Amino acid sequence: MSPRTVVRTCVGCRSQADQQELMRVALEAGTTPPTVVWDPLRRRPGRGAWVHPGPECLQLALRRRAFHRAFRGQVDPDGLEAGTRASAARPTDEGGSEI
C-alpha cells in the first residue's frame, strides 16, 4: 500500500484493507431503529462502516453484532441480508473523478 492509500477496517474480520477492496454500509434514516443499507456510491451522509464483499465477513459481522458497535447504537442490519449483492455492486468509474 502506498502512502496515499486510504485504509479501512472490515467490521466482520477486523482486518485492514484498501478502501477500494471494501464495501460501505450506512444508515437509512427514517426508520426506528435505523436500518443498515448498502452504500454503493459511498455518498450517504453520516457515519459509515466497511465490510469485505464476501458473505463470510457479512455473516461474521452480523454474528458479532459489529454494526451496532460501528454505528454506536441499536440498528437493524436485516436489510443487508435481504438486499442482493447485485444491487450493492460498485458503479464503474466512467472516465473521470467528481469534484
Instruction: Give the model's confidence band at 4: pLDDT under 50 very low, under 70 low, under 90 confident, else very high.
Output: confident
Residue 47: φ, ψ to 5°: -65, 140
Average pLDDT of the residues in 2-19? 92
> How many other C-beta atoms are found inside a 10 Å radius of the C-beta of residue 55?
11
* Residue predicted with more confidence, 84 or 35: 35
Residues 6+ apart with CB under 8 A from 26: 36, 37, 39, 44, 45, 46, 47, 48, 49
Q: Which domains does the chain carry?
A: 7-82 (3.30.1230.10)
18-71 tens-digit pLDDT: 999 999 999 998 888 999 999 999 999 999 999 999 999 999 999 999 999 999
Give the CA diameter of the chain: 41
* Residues 61, 28, 91, 19, CA torsion sign: negative
C-alpha cell of residue 35: 436500518
Alpha helices by DSSP H, the chain: 55-64, 66-70, 78-82
Distances in Å between the Cα of 78 and the Cα atoms of 42, 44, 55, 62, 95 are: 20, 18, 14, 9, 35
